[in-house]
Structures are given as C-alpha cells and as structure tokens.
Structure 1
Amino acid sequence: METNKNYFLQAFLLLIISAGAFIAFKTILPKKLMEQTKLESKNVVIDSLLLDALDEGKNEEFVDANDTLIKKIITYKPNPKLGIKYTSEKFDNYKGYQHIIPFYEKLQQLEATKTGSIRIAYFGDSMNDGDMIVQDVRKLFQEQFGGQGVGFVNITSESASSRATIKHEFSSNWKTQSYLKTKSPTRSFGVNGHVFFANDTLHPTWVKFKANNYKHLTQLNNPTLFYGNSTNKEAMISYVVGKDTIYKKLNGENQLNTLKLADNLKSVKVNFINAENVPIYGFNFDDGKGVHVDNFSNRGNSGLPISIFNVGMMQEFNNKLDYDLVVLHYGTNVLNYGSYDYSWYEKRMTKVVAHIKQCFPGVAVLVISTADKSTKYDLEMKTDSAVVPLAMAQKKYAVKSEAGFVNLYTLMGGDGSMVKWVEAVPSKANKDYTHFNYTGSKEIAKLIYKEIYEGFLLFKTLNKGYIVPKRKNDSVYTKIDSTNE
C-alpha cells in the first residue's frame, strides 16, 4: 500500500512540475503553435513559378518607386472615348472603376438593346474549384442580362466529379500538359492553361458532357471544339446525334481552329480517332447572347503561370471568344511562405497584368483579393498574419496596372471573419479555415457581383449623356447635346 502512495505522489509531483514548465516556457514559445499546412485542404498546392519566385525573392531587393502609394490620392483623366472622369480615390478605398469602362460600356449597350454578347474570363485557384463562386457569378449576370450556357470547359479536369454546372466525364488515357507544371509545352497552352493530346492508338480516347437542370444551363448550347494546328490529315472525331453517327475531320490548318458539332444538345460523347499530336483545348457552350463566364480555375495556382501564355495564341482565342473582362482571383496559394513582405508577388503580378493586356488587347482587368484565412495562434483560430499584407500587395499591383479591384477580405467582414463563416449555422466555410463551401460560395459570389454592379450603376450615372441608337445594327454610342435634351 505504501508503494502505491509513493507512486501516486511521484506522478502528482511530475504533473505539477510539467505544468509549471509549460507556463514558464509559454512566453518564449512561438505564438503560432501549429503550422497552417496542417489545416490546409489537400487541394492546396504550389505552382512551379511560385516556387521560383520565392527563391528569387530571397536574393533580390525590390525597390518600389511607389512605396508611398498607400498615402497617395489616385486621380483619373477623362476617358478618351466617352469623356467620363471618375472622382479621385484614396488608396484605402481604391476600386478603380475607371479602368473597367470598356466592360461597363458594352454592358450598358447589352442592357439597352438586348442584343450582342459579353464574355468574362475568370482565372482563379482552388477557391473556384468545381465552378465554385464562378457558377453563381455567372448565374447572377445571366439573370440580369441574359445568356445561356456554361462557357468554356476543359477536356479533362481534376474537379469534374464535383462540378454541378455540367456533368463531365472522360477517358483516362488523355495526355495533358498544364502551365502549373510545364514551362515549355510541346504545343502552346490554350486560354485554360492546358493542352491535351489523344495519343493512345490502342484504346479509345473520348470526352463526354451532359447538361444539368440548372437555370440557364439546361442545354449544351452550340457545342464547339477548339483545337490547334497539325499536319495530321487523318484526325477526326465521331459523335452520335439521335440515331445518326457523325464523323468530322479535324482540319488543323490554322494556329487555332474551331469545329461546331450541332446547334443544341442535351448530352454528347465525342470520340477522337487517329488524332495523335493534334493539340486539343476544350469545348465551348454558349448561345451567343447575353453574358458568358468561363471558369479557368486551377488548384494550386498563384496567378504567375499566366505570364507564360503565348501572346499570339491568346490573341487567336480572343478573336474567337471576344473577351470583355479578365478577372484574377488568387491568394490561397500565396499565403504563408516565410515572409510577410509580398513585394516580390506585387512586382511579378504587375508584369502578369501587363502580359494579359498584350494577350487580350483592350480588355479590362479586375483583381479580386485574397479572402480571410485563419491560423491557430495561442490555441485560438485568428486571421492569419499574412492576409492583410498580401491583400495590400494585390491592391498595389491593381493600382499600378490600372485594373479594377475588389477587396474580398474586407467584403466578407475583415479581421476574424473566416472563423465566423466556419462557425455560422449553417456553416459557410470548411474546417480548413481557407475554402468556402457551397453556401459560402453563393454569398461570396453575391458580394463580388454587387461590387461589379455598383460600379456599373455609377458608370450609367456618369454616362447619362450617351444613348444607344435605335438601330440594332449600330454598335456605337452617340453623345446627346445637353442643350437639346
């Protein structure tokens, strides 16, 4: 019995000593007890250009000539075409609507005439995986301005099984090159950052799409294949419409080629026959009217891979798809890599936007900042210390690039907001404290759309001296002499 008492006393003393040691050392332990990598989704990876930029950033000094930008008043000159001039903005409240005038001008024309179309390229990361957020932005635009169709869809996709806006299946033998992993592809990447090859001569290579019963997405509107040039004269596709099997040759004579399958289908399975070495990019589905939004999201994307787009090829895509706005929605994969100095990212993304403007001449650019993200500090989930510095860097490169800006971090509530979104009932974000779920994605889409639409309302107020001519085939605005109103 005495032995048991001694053991109990020893254990109790050990517990007291351990507790005292923890309290003593707590003050010198790092506040960040758990690295965020333990909380991040398995979908969060890093693209190769980000790794390169991180290595280079450690060895270079970035002297920012606009280091006082945060104290600067941003002034605007009158738009050379319309004469519209926006009021000055403080950096803290920067939105840059002035730089989206070409998009708003065309949107006003679409609203007034109910004719024509507008197209948005929405580039993003795992936040938009499976068409998250983008699907609801698309829906809001199409409800307001018309349009049918899901837009451009890859040949294969890692998120196909989780995408609700279209049922997407494909054979497992496609050969794929992605701009996240390959800097020098054998053939130019498409606007989606991928190029696909049906190089398996022993097994069928196919892709299948089926429309779901989502509003505005109930059909595969005008399914059209996009593919590159090739000397292969035997390549063809086959697909079934009704009781007929249709064969069509892939005549890859141009840098970028299109092949329309039919007017509208509910589903289609396309087989690629003798199509070795023909670069395949994807299918587009739209009715040619209203607004169309293409989701070009990639897990692990920092935005930097856009810098390796081939300008000539992108201009070809732009000639066929006619973009009016490019959205850059990044941040998830840039947070937390050893420093809160994101000047290296600001510098490189400024070059990315300049490259986009070469690829898509005259197209407006809109930057969407990182959302809030939480990390464990002192056993409590709080806004990660890197979020605000990254959002600041994103705003800086938007200002310097003359792009519009949406501060998603502040829109969702700012400091501590991700914790609130996770703990909401029903929950609006995942337990990784990084990604939104379907409920949260719908709300985020509404916040983004509201920002864009409020800018449109301001544009219409400033542009009230212009009307759209009654002739539907006249696409230009005519100024009204205010003395004759």
Structure 2
Amino acid sequence: MRQALRILFIYLIIIGLAYAMLYFIPLKFLPQSLNFSNPDLITNQQDSFEIISLLKQDSLLIEPEDTLVVAPVKEDTVIVANFLSCPSKFLSQLKLFHDKLSNAHKHKEVVRILHFGDSQIEGDRITEHLRERFQERFGGSGPGLNCILDPQRMNPSVWLDNNDNWQLESIYDRNRDKSRNTYGLLGQYALIDTALVGEFKISKSPWAEPHAKNYQRIKLFLAPHSDSVIIKGSIKNTEVINDTLPLSSNLTEINWLFSQVSPSILFQIKSNKEVAVLGVALDSISGVAVDNIALRGQSSPLLHRTNADLFKAMGEQLNIGMIILQYGTNIIPTETSNYGFYRKILAKQFDLLTEYLPDVPVLFVGVADAAKSIDGQTESYKHLVDLRNTQKELALQYDFAYFDLYEAMGGAGSIVKWTEEEPPLALTDYVHFSRKGGEKAAEYLVTALWKHFDDLYQMNDSTFVPLDSLQLWKN
C-alpha cells in the first residue's frame, strides 16, 4: 500500500512539473506560424527563377509573419493631381527641390535626378524625354551619369566605344564576383585587369535629344584602387589629359571642364593593379541632369548589394535633388492575391534608400498596364490593380510620391490600344513601351510634376524662363 502511494505521489509531482513548464515557458514552435509556399505564387515559367531568386538570395529581407511589425496608419493630407499622389512631406521636399533647380544657374551647380528602373526604362527609354523636358525648363544639358561601356549600343543619348580589355560587372549578374563589392550608384562598373590598357571613347550621339547632345563637364568615378592609376585623354590625336592618381582607399572623382562643347575624347587607363570605373557624368556647367539607371530583369534597385560607402560617396558628389523609382514589370507575371512578399522586398530597399540618401524626395512610378493571351484573346492581367495598390500604399507610407502610370495610360486594356496605335506606343509583348510610348509616359509624369510645381507657387509656366544651355558655357 505504501509503495502504491509513493508511486502516485511521484506521478503527481511529474505532472505538476510538466504543467508548470508549459505554463511558465511558452513553446516557441507553433504549427500555424509556418509559411508554406503558395502553389499559385508563380505561374509564369520564364519569371519563376527571378521570383525564387529574390526569395532565396534576399532571404534576409523576408521576415516571418509573426515577427512583422505593422506601422500604425498615420493621418496625412495627400494631394492628388494628374495621377500623382503627394503626401505633405514630399510636397515640402518638392518645394525645396524646385528652389534648387531655379537657382542652379545662379549658383553654377548641377542638380541631379536619378531615374532607377527595370527594363521598361532600359536604353534611356522614358528617361531621355524626362531629361529633355527638365532641361528645357530649368536649363542644363548632357546625357548625365553613364557606365563607360555600352556593348549592346542601347543608349541613344551618348556614343560609347571601347577596346576589348574591359570586363562589365553588373549587380544583377548571378555569376558576379561578390568578393569585390565595389558597386556604386549605377549598379555596374567597368573593370580593367592588371597591367592592361583600357580604352574608351566618348562622343556626341546624333540620336540624342537636343539638350542631351551637349556636354562640357566630364566627371570620372573610380573605386578604391591599390596602386597608382595613369589616365590619358586625346582629342583628334592631341593629348589633352595626362594625370597620375595615387592609390586610394576611397572613391576618387576626376573632374575636367572643356571649352569645347561635346568633345570627342579617347581615354586610356592603366595601372599595375585592377581598376574599377564606376561611371562617367557628362553634364553642363549648371542646370539639371537626369540619369538613367536601368537594371534589367529586377524588381527593385538591389541596394543591399551595393557598397554602402561608395553609394553614399557618389551621392554626396553628385548633388542629388530627386529620385525616381520605376519597378514592377518583372512582378507582373506573378499572379497572387497577396503581394506581401514584394512589399517586404520594396520596404527593405526604401529603408536603405532613405539611409543612403536622406532628405531626398522620392517619386515612385507604378506598374503600367500589361496583357497576355487568354484563349486566343489578348487581355490585361486582372491582378495588376492589386500590385498597383501594394506599391502605392507602401510608397505613401514612406512619404514618397506615387505616380499611377496604370491609370494615366488608361487602365485595363490600355496596353492593347497602345500596341495598336500608329506608330505603336507599345511592343507586341504587351508589356514594354516603344520609344514613342516612352515619350508619352514621360509626358504624363512631367505634366503631373509641373502641375504640382505650379500649385505650390500659384504661378504658371511662363514664370520660368528656359535657359539656353549654350548661354551657360559663355559665362
């Protein structure tokens, strides 16, 4: 009998201890917190690798749902005009930006606009027309910041030639050398190997917009280099540049000002160690510059892959007045009722952007209409509104402006109409714009910006006198 009582007593103690552990030490494993892949998340084989790659390579960006901190909805006045939604903070920044543009000539400075985007803006599409309209209104000229290599001849705004000693490194290349980590603002750079002579030539492009054809100031940006670098430049076989740069652990900027408008210059770069050229800026003496930074096949600017110090340093040297982000093309084939994964990826990029370039106004250009063939009929993707809403809500949450390109071009079905126009405004893939379509999209955005400028100052366009870029060079 005593033995039975002892067993019962021990049994009760064990049950009590187990209950206490469950009560005071909550179990972290909860089956309902597991996130299994949605089989409907990826429906397009061509783009499936891209989305899977985003989820794997950017795994640090994807937080478990139960750890997501949802920011409280803040009260704000959002001014909407011509499909451009502007929160109050952005409008304050926009006024300061306008003041910088209006005084650029007086201060003899160049104020820059960075236009980041995917293949929708590749080859300077859309950007070239934004640049021309801004330079018409606020002065300035030149094609802006570019990579010195253009192997596919996609940029109509500047003519670039090079010898075969260069290697192009792109941030979106899956086979990129991750050990170097020397990506700056452009997300790509030109690499010349040890003891080789790298040559590249810059010339005015006959296909450039009128203002973009003319440049007079050239800035070359080099990544940190472990040996001295010799840079030579020639115009029609006459040497005009012969500089030797010491080794440097920081960003190096070389700045040349030419009396000749749009000189055609052959550069030679040589060092006993490899040299990475991060970009070349072709500008006027003052006014506005608009830079095209296109990352083909990407859903975000991939800022987490850049070198933060180089990115910030280039930003400080380039006097950035505004940033335009234009992404979404590569998410279009992903049909899902929940774009939370994309929201998180964008949010991480927005955080980095506001860290790297603080107090710079950001304008997000939303996804355009796109279509696919369904049972022999070409129809717009029905989920584009959900994707658009995700972009817009997040942009406004970060006090970015949002331009609704989807609605501006006519909403559902508009891409089909654009393709049927003569000349066509869109390509037959029913996703990308033609050059003419890029011009129309740029005009929509410029009209909206001008409207907000005018409402801020309660004055019309006649108040602003466009500066002839040639007049700037005579000062």
Which TM bucket (shorter chain)?
0.7 to 0.9
- Given that 1:183 and 1:308 are in contact with CA atoms closer than 8 Å, whether structure 2 keeps it comes out as no
Aligned to 1:471: none
* Equivalent residue in structure 1 for 2:216, among 210, 221, 240: 221
CA 1:143 to 1:385, structure 2 compared with 1: closer, same or farther past 3 Å? Answer: same
How far apart in 1 are the matches of 2:104 and 2:237? 40
- Given that 2:114 and 2:292 are in contact with CA atoms closer than 8 Å, whether structure 1 keeps it comes out as yes
How much does 1:377 deviate?
A: 1.7
* Equivalent residue in structure 1 for 2:137, among 132, 140, 144: 144
* Equivalent residue in structure 1 for 2:159, among 152, 160, 167: 167
Residue identity in the other structure for 1:280:
V
Aligned to 1:196: 190
1:269-280 equivalent positions in 2, closer than 5 A: 269-274=266-271, 276-280=273-277
- Given that 2:84 and 2:403 are in contact with CA atoms closer than 8 Å, whether structure 1 keeps it comes out as no
CA 1:277 to 1:103, structure 2 compared with 1: closer, same or farther past 3 Å? Answer: farther
Aligned to 1:466: none
* Equivalent residue in structure 1 for 2:333, among 336, 351, 363: 336
How far apart in 2 are the matches of 1:399 and 1:183? 36
Residue identity in the other structure for 1:285:
L
CA 1:88 to 1:231, structure 2 compared with 1: closer, same or farther past 3 Å? Answer: closer
What secondary structure, in the 3-state scheme, does the structure 1 residue paired with 2:90 have?
Answer: helix
How much does 1:347 deviate?
A: 1.7
Q: CA RMSD in A?
A: 3.2
- Given that 2:144 and 2:283 are in contact with CA atoms closer than 8 Å, whether structure 1 keeps it comes out as yes
- Given that 2:204 and 2:214 are in contact with CA atoms closer than 8 Å, whether structure 1 keeps it comes out as yes
How far apart in 2 are the matches of 1:183 and 1:385? 39
- Given that 1:225 and 1:260 are in contact with CA atoms closer than 8 Å, whether structure 2 keeps it comes out as yes
* Equivalent residue in structure 2 for 1:123, among 116, 130, 137: 116
1:244-263 equivalent positions in 2, closer than 5 A: 244-245=238-239, 246-253=241-248, 255-263=250-258
How much does 1:223 deviate?
A: 1.4
How much does 1:184 deviate?
A: 3.4
- Given that 2:235 and 2:264 are in contact with CA atoms closer than 8 Å, whether structure 1 keeps it comes out as no
- Given that 2:114 and 2:291 are in contact with CA atoms closer than 8 Å, whether structure 1 keeps it comes out as yes
How far apart in 2 are the matches of 1:58 and 1:99? 28
* Equivalent residue in structure 2 for 1:212, among 199, 205, 216: 205
* Equivalent residue in structure 2 for 1:354, among 347, 351, 373: 351
How far apart in 1 are the matches of 2:273 and 2:88? 46
How far apart in 2 are the matches of 1:363 and 1:167? 30
Aligned to 1:104: 95
Residue identity in the other structure for 1:447:
Y
How much does 1:210 deviate?
A: 0.8
Aligned to 1:294: 291
Residue-pair matches, total: 408
Residue identity in the other structure for 1:96:
P
Is 1:393 the counterpart of 2:390? The answer is yes
Residues 71-100 of structure 1: CA deviation (Å, up to 9, x unaligned): x7x643xxxxxxxxx56779x984336414
- Given that 2:79 and 2:86 are in contact with CA atoms closer than 8 Å, whether structure 1 keeps it comes out as no
Aligned to 1:133: 126
CA 1:129 to 1:201, structure 2 compared with 1: closer, same or farther past 3 Å? Answer: same
Aligned to 2:454: 457
How much does 1:195 deviate?
A: 3.0
How much does 1:450 deviate?
A: 1.3
How much does 1:142 deviate?
A: 0.5
Residue identity in the other structure for 2:54:
L
Residues 31-64 of structure 1: CA deviation (Å, up to 9, x unaligned): x9xx7668x9xxx994886252798899943787
Residues 253-311 of structure 1: CA deviation (Å, up to 9, x unaligned): 35111112442442112122226322211111111311111111121121151233333
How much does 1:312 deviate?
A: 2.2
Residue identity in the other structure for 1:383:
S
- Given that 1:152 and 1:283 are in contact with CA atoms closer than 8 Å, whether structure 2 keeps it comes out as yes
Aligned to 2:65: 61
Residue identity in the other structure for 1:132:
R
CA 1:199 to 1:399, structure 2 compared with 1: closer, same or farther past 3 Å? Answer: same
Q: Structure 2 unaligned runs (5+)?
A: 1-39, 460-475
Residue identity in the other structure for 2:191:
F
* Equivalent residue in structure 2 for 1:431, among 421, 428, 431: 428
Is 1:405 the counterpart of 2:409? The answer is no
Bigger mean CA offset, 185-194 vs 173-182: 173-182
How much does 1:252 deviate?
A: 4.1
Is 1:384 the counterpart of 2:377? The answer is no
Aligned to 1:8: none
- Given that 2:181 and 2:306 are in contact with CA atoms closer than 8 Å, whether structure 1 keeps it comes out as no
CA 1:60 to 1:258, structure 2 compared with 1: closer, same or farther past 3 Å? Answer: same
How much does 1:146 deviate?
A: 0.6
Residues 149-176 of structure 1: CA deviation (Å, up to 9, x unaligned): 11101022355x1321111222333223
CA 1:333 to 1:457, structure 2 compared with 1: closer, same or farther past 3 Å? Answer: same
How much does 1:335 deviate?
A: 1.9
Residues 433-460 of structure 1: CA deviation (Å, up to 9, x unaligned): 0100111111011011112222212222
Q: TM-score, normalised by structure 2?
A: 0.77
Residue identity in the other structure for 1:281:
L
- Given that 2:78 and 2:86 are in contact with CA atoms closer than 8 Å, whether structure 1 keeps it comes out as no
How far apart in 2 are the matches of 1:227 and 1:58? 34
